[in-house]
Amino acid sequence: MPVTTIAWHDNKIRLIDQTRLPTELFYLEIDEVETLLEAIVKLRVRGAPAIGVAAAFGVLLGLRQFDDSTSRTVFFTELESLIRRIKNTRPTAINLTWALNCMNKIAQRYQQESITIIKEKMLQQAQQIYQDDQNANRKLAKIGSSLIPDDAQIITHCNTGALATVDYGTALGTVFSAHAAGKKLHLWVDETRPLLQGARLNMWELQNEGIDCTLICDNMAAFVMAQHKIDLCIVGADRIVANGDTANKIGTYSLAVLAKFHQIPFYIAAPTNTFDLTLSQGDKIPIENRGAEEITNGFGRRTTPEGSKVFSPAFDITPAELITAIITEKGVIRPPFAVAIRLQLKKP
């Protein structure tokens, strides 16, 4: 079984420190919101669904000193500032904002109750977000696995497995599900520069599951597509907007362009809380920029002269026209996306 990435235990968040993988499987116990903020920014916990869950429990950490002796004004002022601080850690993945909004809504709904009751309701909400993530992943993984033929050659970019979610995963979850159904598979794993989520995390998860996989540098994907019969590309998402444009790890867009050229189906797999229908198209999605040192010193030593200018967007936008279908826990969405997305999201 794939690992459990994050859990709420003894009023603490227990999570795998993903920066230590693949060489060390180390669990962090977090009981301070400041430590959680650092963990999200440093990508100790990462992947859109996982940071959504971390954010929900992070709100509880930030409120833990309050009880019925706290004034309502102090409680709600602190809640607002807490939500703002957690939201600001990583701007692109909508799951983070979505989870924080869920937590805020519950607090507002029970605002007339005692602080103890409000906090109890918020804990239940966070646990619901946690369970929903587990359920959605398994459902979408099963739905997505039907799109994977036996003997498939698959290419993927960035980590979307158990480590990017509570457990199991989205895009990689479809692969786990197809593998569990007895299909023979081979994965081409993009290294995913600059932070190597493919090399460090996908390879670790796929090897643990006994799935045949080969690591390539991101710039080898075109050659692999030209040389090998790649059956499909499958990746995750950090935000999918109303017209289907999708933000995902930097390099996803290039892979989608390559897939189009080589006539390879390009699938996105994501739970429905990754959709943001308030935005009409992808150019409105805020894109996180990362620090230069992740590129200049990414391999533990300088790889470029001092003073080099660096541009490091963490995500890019894949235009909807390059996407064959979007796999969700409610079913597979196919073009024309604008209409199909709205219909699908309305389903219970």
Nearest to 269 by CA among 153, 178, 196: 178
For the CB of residue 78, give the shortest distance to ligand MRU in the complex, in Å: 27
For the CB of residue 262, give the shortest distance to ligand MRU in the complex, in Å: 21
Bridge partners of 318, per DSSP, are: 246
Nearer CB in complex with ligand MRU: 255/341? 255
Name the residue number minimizing CB distance to ligand MRU: 236
For the chain, what percentages of helix, strand and coil (3-state, to nearest 5) are there?
A: 45, 20, 35
For the CB of residue 154, give the shortest distance to ligand MRU in the complex, in Å: 15
**CA atoms of 304 and 320, how far apart (whole Å):** 35
Nearest to 268 by CA among 317, 338, 323: 323
Token couple for 241: 């907007």
**For the chain, what's the residue count?**
348
The number of CA neighbours under 13 Å toward the Cβ of 15 is 29
**CA atoms of 48 and 43, how far apart (whole Å):** 11
Nearest to 43 by CA among 90, 96, 3: 90
Nearer CB in complex with ligand MRU: 75/266? 266
Binding-site ranges for ligand MRU (CB under 6 A): 43, 46-49, 93, 158, 160, 164-165, 170, 197, 235-238, 248-249, 314
For the CB of residue 235, give the shortest distance to ligand MRU in the complex, in Å: 6
For the CB of residue 158, give the shortest distance to ligand MRU in the complex, in Å: 4
Nearer CB in complex with ligand MRU: 63/332? 332
Nearer CB in complex with ligand MRU: 30/106? 30
- Per the listing, tokens 């279908």 go with 325
Nearer CB in complex with ligand MRU: 205/344? 205
∠ at Cα 332 (164, 281), nearest 5°?
75
Active-site positions?
A: 238
